[in-house]
Amino acid sequence: ELKVEQNPLFLSMQEGKNYTIYCNYSTTSDRLYWYRQDPGKSLESLFVLLSNGAVKQEGRLMASLDTKARLSTLHITAAVHDLSATYFCFPQTSGSRLTFGEGTQLTVNP
Amino acid sequence: DTAVSQTPKYLVTQMGNDKSIKCEQNLGHDTMYWYKQDSKKFLKIMFSYNNKELIINETVPNRFSPKSPDKAHLNLHINSLELGDSAVYFCASREGGNTEAFFGQGTRLTVV
């Protein structure tokens, strides 16, 4: 059974700082999604990483995938308040089950 | 056009009542899901249907019964509601096993 661990689960950071969120997963996966959930809202897809070594960037967020280490990272550069949200990773595996990480609740303080 | 829509968005009800949440997707996807999100934001899968057929049925109380009248709809009926059922319930859909999932806006259920 796939296990997905994110850390940290809670992250409070100041504007302008950098930080990385980690997503470890337990079984083979060659595709991974990152989702964002704003408070009280639904989940929206941020990135899909399609292969080992894939890197995607949008604005202050950059995601990467290492399928050999079964690790994805979401790096935040010069955080701003608008990035405050919960971030979920979702490694794609065979079958229909969607197993998400526990989520990282990010709060960016002025 | 809303891709995955759930109704109602908010539901407040008393313990012991029976309620339903509806979900519809207009994306033509084959697979639909119900997730429960607790206060800690953890997303727990409850059910999944593929072309109206139940394929995932997690260990949820049998008071929860999904129904899929067609592949565009997946409804969730809950009998004898309990305080612990209070959560946000999300419907999601996707096409096949290798694509992103699209989520509904969620239904915040509060049992009092």
Contact call for B56 and A94, based on CB within 8 A: no
CA distance B7 to chain A (A): 14
* Cα within 13 Å of Cα(A70), Cβ side: 13
**pLDDT given at position B74:** 96
pLDDT digits (tens, 9 = 90+) for A76-90: 999 999 999 999 999
Q: Where are the beta strands (DSSP E) in chain B?
A: 4-7, 10-13, 19-25, 31-37, 43-50, 53-57, 64-70, 73-78, 87-94, 102-103, 107-111
- pLDDT tens for chain B, 112 residues: list them: 679 999 999 999 999 999 999 999 999 999 999 999 998 889 999 999 988 888 888 878 999 999 999 999 999 999 999 999 999 999 999 987 678 899 999 999 999 9
Collect all residues of chain B within an 8 Å Cβ-Cβ radius of residue A97. 45, 48, 56
Residue with tokens 């096409």: B95
Contact call for B43 and A88, based on CB within 8 A: yes
Collect all residues of chain B within an 8 Å Cβ-Cβ radius of residue A105. 41
Number of inter-chain CB pairs under 8 A, A vs B: 50
Q: Which residue of B has its CA nearest to A42?
A: B105
pLDDT digits (tens, 9 = 90+) for A23-78: 999 988 878 999 999 999 999 999 999 988 999 999 999 999 999 999 999 999 99
